[in-house]
A and B are shown apart, each in its own frame.
Chain A
Amino acid sequence: MLWLCIQLPKLPLEALTRAHRAGDQAALAVVQSSLVIEANRTANTHNVEPGLSIATACAYCTELQLLERDPEREEQLLQQLAQWAYSFTPVVSPRSAESAQNQADSNCACLYLEISGSLKAHHGLGPLLQQLGKELHKMRISHSIGLGHSPSAAHLLSQLPEHRQWLAETKTAPTPQQWRQWISFAPSKLMDCSHNAITKLYACGIKRVSQLLAIPLSEVGARFGRSFIDYLARLNGTRPDPVPSYEPPAEFHCELFFPSPLDNSEQLLFPAGRLVRELCRQLQRRQLYSQRLCWVLDYGSRGNREVNVDISRPLLDPQRLIALTKLQFERVELKEPVQALTLKCQQLQPIESHNLREDFFDEGNKQHESYQLIDKLKARLGHQALSGVTLTESYLPEQAWQNADSLTLQSKARKHQLTPVNATRPNWLLPRPTPLQQRDHKLFYDGELQLLQGPERIDGYWWQHHRHARDYYIARGGQGSLYWVYQDLTSETWFLHGVYS
């Protein structure tokens, strides 16, 4: 077993400011119960440190912006990071921050990863750690990493600067002996136990873990209690160290919060790009795809607005997805400033190999182009502007056709072929039959109508709510146009129903 512990010390700050651009230089501090919990680098240069009171911090730096700590967002971000870590190993366990009252440097949130099974896939420990570091850096998450034979040990060692330095240079996993050396070398204040216990340890003069391990366990138990002994055993690896295992959700859900709301849809594109890239990375790793991107623009207390982007075929190219999203966002008018942007993908489907295979051939390429075109049109014009037509089985002319979803347009396999009626039918059908003028047994529609052929009687559906009994004729108008007209047999009125164009 080889456990990696990724500590996320600046999570309270990053959960609130991740949507900012990299070059943002405003001094920010996260506060909770009148204490500064975390401050960004600009604030640090003004000597604003965690643990200061708000009044002191504001005195140090006058333009300091204060943000209230948001544990819910932190939890969300931690879940996202767990999902990200899941792409490296199937055994992941997130641990959220425990905030002790009136204490700035309480235990921060961290992730446990069991990586012994993924070393080979990443060509060894060194490259794997580098990859992890690189991606965390790209997501702008500050972190510190520790390696151990149990989660407790990894947690302890991740706080040890010497260990981190060694980890940056190492190539192979250390032997059990080396673990023991590292652990005994660690100062006892880093141990993951209550504040009281640590004060007590220092009162006894036990400054390093090695000193503690030299004392017989029964004596330690008598002083510090049963749970402390348990912890020591887990640290040593003599007792199993269970952590709750993480299961990735069946959907993608990611939110970016803007401390200063955005009032321009163009400004949304940058954070949207970041979300799309995160989505693509995850989908690619889990070999899934989504048919719909659901964007939620959160207006804060004034409700929200959903924008959907439909994708007709598996597409994992972030550039294309961003382009489609851009087309949609251009149409959106922001009624209120946007406070948070969320990307949701609810139904993730596995990519099947036959979906991708046809890309190598020319026909597949053409198909691909038409899918892209349909996606693009849908994104700009909206779902309802696109349609197709199909045949249906009915004697009634207006029911012999049907609007088809344009997504099914390209499917090759048809269940059964319907054959159209073998009679002359007009190319254009009017959505609603237009009544014709009638004078002295003559019909008028831009000039007098002259009946050429007929009647073709269509009579039926008397068993339904309304009987349709019609005699259809082909008629020629005054200017040579051919029309399809009928006489309703129940009311004896005439209607225009189609145009032979």
Chain B
Amino acid sequence: MNSAENFLQNKQLGKQASSEPAQPGPIQSQPLQQLLTRPDIWQLASGQRRPRTGVSTGYRGLDALLTSHGWPRAATTELLIDKAGIGEMSLIIPTLAELTRQGRMVILVNPPHIPYAPALAQAGVQLEKLLILHPRGQRDQLWAAEQSLQSGACGALIQWQGKETPADKELRRLQLAARDGDCLHFHFRPGSCAQAPSPAALRLQLQSDGEQLALHLLKQLSGKSGQRLHLARNPNLVRRDQPLH
């Protein structure tokens, strides 16, 4: 469909160019500008030109890597992870804390364990803005996620993929719902999904290299991908003192 639209727009461009050959500058470049502002057209040298900014991740290194200088707004971000406990939540908690401070609701769908209130409060998350959902079954889970994303009431939705892999159509629906509701959508999925295509705006593979959290940028809409980044864990956690045992 996109290619059809592109074709039509190109045709219009061509028509205008042929009918008004004498007109210089602005009128001709207007459709081109329109074309260039489309988010699905990738431009190499678009770094400074585009003013669209994302929501800051709270990690400067990661912000610099992302085209929107933060998590893409109103879109799905996929985080592919196999092993819990390598710092995947601390990657997004600064953003969640900021959102709850602004009074937006944050929804967790099917978290693998209990979100521990003292740790979240320490990180600055306003607990009364946090809603945890445990829908039964895949259908209810997707329904709840889509409704919450669409509603416009929630600032971020974090979802953990259950046993079944959602179909491509369903992932696309979630992405559209996030766009309609202007909501950050984080989707934690197992690393085996890396090969399957996904409509997400950003895909990050998270692994641990022993000490640090290793990020591998798999896909980024209108931006480069393939970069790797290592983020250190909180020094308070990995500080080594001599335990008695």
Tell me the A residues contacting B by CB distance below 8 Å.
Answer: 363, 366, 369-370, 372-374, 376-377, 380-381, 384-391, 397, 400-402, 404, 406, 408-411, 414, 419-422, 424-431, 441, 446, 451-455, 473-474, 476-477, 479-483, 487, 498-501
| A455 in contact with B243 (CB, 8 Å) | yes
Residue contacts A-B, CB under 8 angstroms, 25 given: A369-B153, A373-B148, A373-B151, A380-B143, A381-B135, A385-B135, A385-B136, A386-B133, A388-B128, A388-B130, A390-B117, A404-B128, A419-B121, A428-B84, A429-B114, A451-B245, A452-B241, A453-B243, A473-B245, A474-B237, A480-B86, A482-B237, A483-B85, A498-B116, A500-B233
Query: Shortest beta-carbon distance, A423 to chain B, in Å?
Result: 9
**B86 in complex: contacting residue of A408, A411, A474, A501, CB < 8 Å:** A501
For the complex formed, measure the closest distance between the CB of A471 and the CB atoms of chain B, giving whole angstroms: 8
The interface residues of chain A lying within 8 Å CB-to-CB of B17 are none
Q: Is the CB of A381 within 8 A of B238?
A: no
Task: Answer whether A501 and B128 are a contact pair too, CB < 8 Å, given A390-B117, A427-B115, A453-B240.
Answer: no
Query: Are A424 and B105 neighbours in the complex by a CB distance under 8 Å?
Result: no
Indicate if the CB atoms of A453 and B136 lie closer than 8 Å.
no
A372 CB contacts on chain B under 8 angstroms: 151, 153
Q: Which of A384, A401, A406, A455 is close to B117, meaning CB atoms less than 8 Å apart?
A: A401
Beyond A373-B148, A427-B90, is A381–B140 a contact (Cβ under 8 Å)?
yes
Chain B residues contacting A446 (CB-CB under 8 Å) are: 83
- Separation of A427 and B140 alpha carbons in the complex (Å): 26
Q: Return the 4 tightest CB-CB contacts between A and B, nearest first.
A: A480-B208, A481-B85, A401-B117, A428-B113
**A contact residues around B83 at 8 Å (CB):** 446, 479-481
CB 8 Å contact bits of B229-245 with A (1 = contact, 0 = none): 00001101111110111
Interface residues in B91-129 (C-beta closer than 8 Å to A) = 93, 103, 105, 111-122, 127-129
Closest CB of chain B to A487's CB: distance in Å?
Answer: 8
Q: Which residues of A contact B128 (CB under 8 A)?
A: 388, 390, 404, 408-411, 414
CB distance from A127 to the nearest CB of B (A): 42
* One of B116, B148, B240, B241 near A429 (C-beta < 8 A): B116
- Select which of A414, A431, A451, A487 is within 8 A of B114 by beta carbon: A431
**Interface residues of A: mostly helix, strand, loop or mixed?**
mixed
A377-B133, A482-B237 known; A400+B114 contact, CB < 8 A: no
The answer to whether the Cβ of B147 comes within 8 Å of any Cβ in the partner chain is yes
Least CB distance from B61 to A in Å reads 19
The docked-state distance in angstroms from the alpha carbon of A410 to that of B103 is 9
Given contacts A385-B136, A428-B84, A453-B240, contact A482 B233 (CB under 8 A): yes
Q: What residues of B have a CB within 8 angstroms of the CB of A387 in the complex?
A: 131-132, 134
The complex places the Cα of A369 from the Cα of B144 at a distance, in Å, of: 15
Whether A381 pairs with B133 at a CB distance below 8 angstroms is yes
Is the C-beta of B210 less than 8 angstroms from some C-beta in chain A? yes
B63 in the interface (beta carbon within 8 A): no
For A400, list chain B residues within 8 Å (CB).
Answer: 117-118
Contact between B243 and A452 (Cβ–Cβ < 8 Å)?
A: yes
Can you name the residue of chain A whose Cβ is closest to the Cβ of B148? A373
Q: Which of B87, B115, B208 contacts A479 (CB 8 A)?
A: B208
Interface pair A385/B237, CB less than 8 Å apart: no
Q: Select which of B84, B90, B105, B140 is within 8 A of A380 by beta carbon.
A: B140
Chain A positions within 8 Å of B239 at CB level: 452-453
- A377 to B109 alpha-carbon distance, docked (Å): 12
Question: Which of A385, A451, A479, A500 sits near B243, CB closer than 8 Å?
Answer: A451
Q: Which of A374, A389, A414, A421 is in CB contact (< 8 Å) with B115?
A: A389
Q: Which residues of B are found within 8 Å of A389, using beta-carbon distances?
A: 114-115, 117, 120, 127, 130, 132
Q: Does B209 contact A (CB under 8 A)?
A: yes
A429 to B120, CA, bound (A): 11
Instruction: Answer whether A376 and B147 are a contact pair too, CB < 8 Å, given A389-B127, A391-B127.
Output: yes
- Alpha-carbon distance A235/B78, docked complex (angstroms): 82
- CB-CB under 8 A from A402, the residues of chain B are 117
* Contacting pair A424 B148 (CB below 8 A): no
Q: Given the interface contacts A428-B116, A429-B114, does A388 sit within 8 Å of B127 by beta carbon? A: yes
B241 (CB) vs chain A CBs: closest residue: A453
Specify which chain B residues have a CB less than 8 angstroms from the CB of A370 in the assembled complex. 105, 151, 153-154
Q: How distant is A165 from chain B, measured CB to nearest CB, in Å?
A: 55
Contact A429 B113 (CB under 8 A): yes
Q: A414, A452, A479, A501 — which one has the most chain B CB atoms within 10 A of its CB? A: A501
Q: Which residues of B contact A391 (CB under 8 A)?
A: 117-118, 121, 127
Say whether B40 faces chain A, with CB atoms less than 8 Å apart.
no
Q: How far is the CB of B145 from chain A (nearest CB, A)?
A: 10
Q: Are A374 and B131 in contact (CB under 8 A)?
A: yes
Known: A369-B152, A428-B89. A481 touches B245 (CB 8 A): no
The answer to whether B85 touches A482, judged by C-beta atoms less than 8 angstroms apart, is yes
B234 to chain A, nearest CB (A): 7
A370 to B107, CA, bound (A): 11
Q: A381-B135, A381-B144, A388-B127 are in contact. List 17 more A-B contacts (CB 8 A).
A: A386-B133, A389-B115, A391-B118, A400-B117, A400-B118, A401-B114, A419-B121, A420-B122, A424-B236, A425-B119, A428-B115, A446-B83, A452-B239, A476-B238, A480-B211, A500-B85, A501-B84
How near does chain A come to B28, taking the closest CB pair, in angstroms?
41
Given contacts A381-B140, A481-B208, contact A427 B236 (CB under 8 A): no
Residues of A within 8 A of B147 (CB): 373, 376-377
Residue of A nearest to B115 (CB): A389
B134 → A minimal CB distance (Å): 5
Most buried by A among B119, B135, B148, B211: B119
Residues of chain B within 8 A of A479, CB atoms compared: 83, 86, 208
In the complex, how many angstroms separate the beta carbon of A459 from the nearest chain B beta carbon? 15
B212-229 toward A: CB 8 Å interface, digit per residue (1/0)?
000000000000000000
Q: Are A425 and B116 in contact (CB under 8 A)?
A: yes
Give Cα A401–Cα B133 distance, bound, in whole angstroms: 17
Is B210 a contact partner of A480 (Cβ separation < 8 A)? yes
Please, which residue of chain B has its CB at the minimum distance from the CB of A369?
Answer: B153
